[in-house]
Amino acid sequence: MTGAGTREASPEALLKSMTLEEKVSLVVGWGPARRVPGAAGETRPVRVPSMVTADGPSGLRIEPTRERRWYATAFPVPTMLASTWNPELVEKVGRAIGEEAREYGVDIFLAPGVNIHRHPLCGRNFEYFSEDPLLSGVMAAAYVRGVQSAGVGATPKHFAANDQETNRAMIDTVVPERALREIYLKPFEIVVKEAKPWAIMSAYNKLNGKYCSQSEWLLTKVLREEWGFDGIVMSDWGAGDNPVEQIKAGNDLIMPGSDQIVARLLDAVKRGELSEAELDRSVLRILEVARRSLSYRGYKYSNQPDLEAHAQLAYEAAAEGVILLKNEGALPLREGSRVAVFGTGQVETLKGGMGSGHTHPKRVVTILEGLRERLRVDEELSSAYERYVLEKRGREFLEKLYYDEAYPEPLPQDIVSEEQVAKFAERNDAAIVVITRISGEGWDRRLEKGDFYLSDGERRLIEMVSRQFRARGKPVVAVLNICGPIEVVSWRDLVDAILLVWLPGQEAGRVVADALVGRINPSGKLPTTFPKDWPDVPAAKSPECYPGVPPENPRTVKYCEGIYVGYRYYDTFGVEPAYEFGFGLSYTKFEYRNLTVEKAGDEVRVSFEVVNVGSYPGKEVAQVYVRAPKGKLDKPFQELKAFKKTRLLKPGESERIELAINVKDLASFDESEGVWLVERGVYEVRVGASSRDVRLTGTFTVENDIKFKP
């Protein structure tokens, strides 16, 4: 394969010495990987050692069972990482995942997912960060910096507008260019410019009529010429329908590939359908990335990443992503108080989602196990749920659910009678009801009871528990161990507190317990809106925007709402959400003071103070939204332009936050001229604790229109 001599040669020299057969073999991979079991794919060893690629994004996905166990840490899912609003923490998570990849012999990590939460029911939303392009982009850049600091390449995916799973391999996503550039491409633009990923994965879907993996406009004009990307583009697994067009468009690596594709490309070059120069371009890019890889450098991996340290980091990351949605005096619970825990999720706790984004950790702390460490759990009730789950699922299924992949069909939750609930209410101090929702690659969630809505059993359970506990003056707490938004308005009045823990990774139970008793003061904020009900959702406005039904088998999805995604829609059109973007409570209270806004050249400097005026130490996520003046282009009511999480502030302590916004980042895309445009006028700076809890406002003026090319 490779001699020391060839390893020294420059990519250009290597390219010159390669035969056509070798070149064609280098741009087509294989999968799954041969060198690392369970890794998704590998490049072929042609003059340089092969590179192993493995999934993400919640941790490294490799096969755990070989001659011994090879576990990888299950970190919280990206939606929860985004809920931390803490890029430094996300960078540490990226670094830890990169180290695990490196120590298991993986060269390129297939994450993070940078698609947008356009649609609350997209099955892979948990793998994506947010409905907002800035938050998504900043988190993705931090994640990529972390992974790559370990010497492993990262692969932001799925480029672009792969925001639903239904018919993902052939659906045509129709998006106006303005929405595409401002919402769907923006996070990729940020991650490419700020973190220089080694690779980008092109998406399965078509974009405005062309497969993403075959779109020269997307992969060459926008990605390379406009943004300066210099890594490799690889296809999603089996994406597209024409490998020749893929190479022509700038999709350098076809994954997982096959010998037929190698033969097809060879034939295309011989017949003049594909020029050797076009092929060489991709070969050179792969050689350049290969030279940076651990395999090329002969790195001796240990198969022993520091799983203990990473378990601690998984806890810390989840701890900062916990969101307190409601709290009417119920939380924190006193440590050691007696609790009655309802719901099968206490036993079959969901660490992550399904599909290529799942992980095989060494252990998962279930919610029940975590609660037992901090509270006096009513064992009669919890063991009834344990028996029930075991009987319905079987031990093997549960093992798979915790440590591998298994899809738990929803079980009825109300396995106790009202008389029994009354007994539990009598002898406990509080009730905890766990609600779970799972989703995964390949399918979208359903607008049905048991998914977006509570199931009848869940509703009956919450009603009974609420009646019996409240009658005795005891609080009811809902814990949401869910992959994405659910409807809450019809039942939230029945509970006194709601703690959202998403899919929190392997330390799930500890994080839940510590947040309930106040060892963790929740500091997460929503990266995605919780709508009041389905008809309010912008993506639900057209039947084509509704994945799955109707139409049953969609060929196109039209992004009818344009730029009005998430809070941009709710705020502009006066639609009240259940919980707005950026929302999250704390056990303490923060005040915002002394805003100054100053425009200096291309920068708007925003500075203010956050003060902890409550009685618990806590962190606050301060958000800066900007409202543009009325001008030529439609503008959303406001857009997030900067944010900062404070350090841990003790009661009475304050932190001065200083943020800078580049004026160019206020631009909208003017389709009529094909340029970015910042319109002149007075802009309002809105600083606050959520998109609807604005505490301070200021203004600055842009004197003249600013136009620039993409």
In the bound state with ligand BGC, the residue whose beta carbon lies nearer, of 29 and 475, is: 29
Q: Which two tokens stand for residue 171?
A: 């659906």
Nearest residue to 329 (alpha-carbon basis) of 423, 470, 482: 470
- SS3 for 235? strand
CB of 234 to ligand BGC, least distance (A): 9
In the bound state with ligand BGC, the residue whose beta carbon lies nearer, of 46 and 201, is: 201
Cα(255)–Cα(238) distance, integer angstroms: 6
In the bound state with ligand BGC, the residue whose beta carbon lies nearer, of 237 and 502, is: 237
CB of 33 to ligand BGC, least distance (A): 10
Q: In this chain, which of 82, 106, 110, 367 binds ligand BGC, going by CB under 6 A?
A: 110
CB of 60 to ligand BGC, least distance (A): 12
CB of 126 to ligand BGC, least distance (A): 13
In the bound state with ligand BGC, the residue whose beta carbon lies nearer, of 33 and 488, is: 33
In the bound state with ligand BGC, the residue whose beta carbon lies nearer, of 53 and 529, is: 53
> x/- string (CB under 6 A) for ligand BGC, residues 222-261?
--------------xx------------------------
647-652, long-range: CB within 8 Å, 24+ apart, which pairs? 647/619, 648/617, 648/618, 648/619, 649/590, 649/610, 649/611, 649/612, 649/617, 649/618, 649/619, 649/620, 650/612, 650/617, 651/588, 651/612, 651/613, 651/614, 651/615, 651/616, 651/617, 652/611, 652/612, 652/613
Residues in 124-183 that interact with ligand BGC by CB under 6 A: 157
In the bound state with ligand BGC, the residue whose beta carbon lies nearer, of 40 and 499, is: 40
Beta bridge partners of 699: 684
In the bound state with ligand BGC, the residue whose beta carbon lies nearer, of 200 and 368, is: 200
E-state strands within 32-120: 41-42, 52-55, 108-110
CB of 231 to ligand BGC, least distance (A): 16
CB of 110 to ligand BGC, least distance (A): 4
Q: Which two tokens stand for residue 678?
A: 């910042």
CB of 63 to ligand BGC, least distance (A): 13
- SS3 for 686? strand
672-678, long-range: CB within 8 Å, 24+ apart, which pairs? 673/707, 674/709, 674/710, 675/707, 675/708, 675/709, 675/710, 676/707, 676/708, 676/709, 676/710, 677/632, 677/633, 677/705, 677/706, 677/707, 678/702, 678/705, 678/706, 678/707
CB of 127 to ligand BGC, least distance (A): 8
CB of 111 to ligand BGC, least distance (A): 7
In the bound state with ligand BGC, the residue whose beta carbon lies nearer, of 356 and 690, is: 356
With CB under 6 A, what is the number of residues at the site for ligand BGC?
A: 7
In the bound state with ligand BGC, the residue whose beta carbon lies nearer, of 157 and 326, is: 157
Question: 57 preceded by cis ω (within 30°)?
Answer: yes
Cα(478)–Cα(458) distance, integer angstroms: 11
Helices and strands: H and E segment counts in the chain: 20, 26
Cα(461)–Cα(595) distance, integer angstroms: 47
Instruction: Using alpha carbons, list the distances in angstroms from residue 564 to 9, 125, 634, 676.
Output: 51, 18, 10, 18
Beta-carbon contacts of residue 65 (< 8 Å; ≥ 6 apart): none
Nearest residue to 358 (alpha-carbon basis) of 126, 160, 95: 126
> x/- string (CB under 6 A) for ligand BGC, residues 329-368?
---------------------------x------------
Cα(431)–Cα(462) distance, integer angstroms: 10
Cα(463)–Cα(431) distance, integer angstroms: 12
Can residue 40 be called a binding residue for ligand BGC (CB under 6 A)?
Answer: yes
User: Quick check: 528 and 581 in contact, CB under 8 A?
Assistant: yes
> x/- string (CB under 6 A) for ligand BGC, residues 529-558?
------------------------------
E-state strands within 369-416: 376-377
Q: Which residues are known catalytic residues?
A: 236
In the bound state with ligand BGC, the residue whose beta carbon lies nearer, of 86 and 130, is: 130
Q: In this chain, which of 26, 42, 46, 55 binds ligand BGC, going by CB under 6 A?
A: 55
In the bound state with ligand BGC, the residue whose beta carbon lies nearer, of 255 and 495, is: 255
Radius of gyration of the chain (CA): 26
CB of 159 to ligand BGC, least distance (A): 11
E-state strands within 491-602: 497-500, 556-558, 590-600
Q: Tell me the residue number closest to ligand BGC, measured at CB.
A: 40
Can residue 318 be called a binding residue for ligand BGC (CB under 6 A)?
Answer: no
Instruction: Using alpha carbons, list the distances in angstroms from residue 173 to 184, 233, 460, 560.
Output: 11, 20, 40, 11
What does DSSP assign to residue 644? E
Cα(319)–Cα(322) distance, integer angstroms: 6
CB of 158 to ligand BGC, least distance (A): 6
Q: Which residues bind ligand BGC (CB under 6 A)?
A: 40, 55, 110, 157, 236-237, 356
